[in-house]
A and B are shown apart, each in its own frame.
Chain A
Amino acid sequence: MGGRRARRRASPPRHAGTPELERVPHLAAVLAGDADGTGDPRLAAELTALTGLAPDAGGVPLRVCPVPTTGVVEALVVLADPRLPDHGDLAAAEEDLLGAYVARAGTALAAAALHEEQAHLGAVLQESLAAPRLPETPGVLWGAAYRPARETLRVGGDFYEVVGGAGRSAFLLGDVCGKGIEAAVLSGRVRQSWHALRLLEDRPGRLLPLLNTALLDAVATRDEDPRFATMVLGDAHPAANGTVTLRLASGGHPPPLVLRAGGEVEAVPVAGMLVGGIRDARFGEAEVTLAPGDTCLLYSDGVVEARGSGDFFGEERLAATLPRCAGAPPAVLCEHLEQVVVGWLDGHDHDDVALLAIQAPPLPSRPARSEA
Chain B
Amino acid sequence: MTITDPDRLRAAYLDRLAASDESGAVAVALGALDAGVDAETVLLDVVAGAQREIGDRWAAGEWTVVQEHVATHISERVVAAIAQRAPVPAPSGLGTVAVACLDGEWHGLPARLLAEVLARHGWAVEFLGASVPAAQLATHVHRVGPDVVAISSSLPSRLPAARRMVEACRATGTPVLAGGPAFGEDGRWARAVGADGWAPDARAAAAMLAADPDGPWFRDEVTVATPAGDRSAREEQAVLHTRRAELVRLAAAAARPGVEITAVPEELADDLGHLVDFLAAAVFVDDPTLFDGFVSWVGSVSIPSGLHAEEVGPALDALAVALADSPRTVGLLRGARGGLPEPVG
Nearest CB on A from B126, distance (A)? 11
Residue-wise, chain B 207-221 has the 8 Å CB interface mask toward A (1 for contact) of 000000100000000
Question: Do residues B93 and A7 form an inter-chain contact, with CB atoms below 8 A?
Answer: no
Closest residue of chain B to A368, judged by CB? B20
A329 to B273, CA, bound (A): 28
Question: Do residues B66 and A152 form an inter-chain contact, with CB atoms below 8 A?
Answer: no
Question: Do residues A369 and B245 form an inter-chain contact, with CB atoms below 8 A?
Answer: no
- Report A301-328 residues with CB < 8 Å from chain B CB: 308-310, 324-325, 328
Question: Do residues B145 and A11 form an inter-chain contact, with CB atoms below 8 A?
Answer: yes
Is B73 an interface residue, CB under 8 A from the partner? yes
Mark A residues whose CB is within 8 Å of B. 1, 3-4, 7-8, 10-11, 14-16, 116, 119-120, 123, 150, 152, 154, 308-310, 324-325, 328-329, 331-332, 335-336, 339, 342-343, 346-347, 367-372
Nearest CB on B from A4, distance (A)? 4
Band of interface residues on B: 35 or more
Nearest CB on A from B274, distance (A)? 11
Is B334 an interface residue, CB under 8 A from the partner? no
Nearest CB on A from B112, distance (A)? 14
Question: Do residues B94 and A328 form an inter-chain contact, with CB atoms below 8 A?
Answer: no
Question: Do residues B73 and A329 form an inter-chain contact, with CB atoms below 8 A?
Answer: yes
Mark B residues whose CB is within 8 Å of A. 19-22, 64-67, 69-70, 73, 93-96, 106, 131, 133, 135-136, 138-139, 142-145, 147, 172-174, 213, 241, 244-246, 270, 273, 304
Nearest CB on B from A324, distance (A)? 5
Nearest CB on B from A353, distance (A)? 13
Question: Do residues B73 and A331 form an inter-chain contact, with CB atoms below 8 A?
Answer: yes
Closest residue of chain A to B305, judged by CB? A372
Among all A-B residue pairs, the 9 with the closest Cβ atoms: A309-B245, A14-B95, A4-B173, A11-B145, A372-B64, A367-B20, A332-B69, A7-B145, A332-B73
Q: Which residues of A contact B173 (CB under 8 A)?
A: 1, 3-4
Q: Which residues of A contact B270 (CB under 8 A)?
A: 343
Nearest CB on A from B246, distance (A)? 8
> A119-B143, A343-B273 provided; 20 other pairs, C-beta below 8 A?
A11-B96, A11-B144, A14-B213, A15-B95, A116-B142, A120-B143, A152-B135, A308-B245, A324-B65, A328-B66, A328-B70, A329-B73, A332-B66, A336-B65, A343-B270, A347-B244, A368-B20, A369-B67, A370-B70, A371-B64
Nearest CB on B from A321, distance (A)? 9
Q: Which residues of B contact A7 (CB under 8 A)?
A: 142, 145, 172
Q: Which residues of A contact B21 (CB under 8 A)?
A: 367
Q: Which residues of A contact B138 (CB under 8 A)?
A: 152
Show 17 residue pairs from A and B whose CB-CB distance is below 8 angstroms, ordered by the A residue. Answer: A11-B96, A14-B93, A15-B213, A116-B142, A152-B135, A309-B245, A329-B70, A336-B69, A339-B106, A368-B20, A368-B70, A369-B20, A369-B67, A370-B66, A370-B70, A372-B64, A372-B304
CB contact under 8 A between A324 and B172, given known A116-B142, A335-B73: no
Question: Do residues B64 and A324 form an inter-chain contact, with CB atoms below 8 A?
Answer: yes
Q: Which residues of B contact A16 (CB under 8 A)?
A: 93
Nearest CB on A from B144, distance (A)? 7
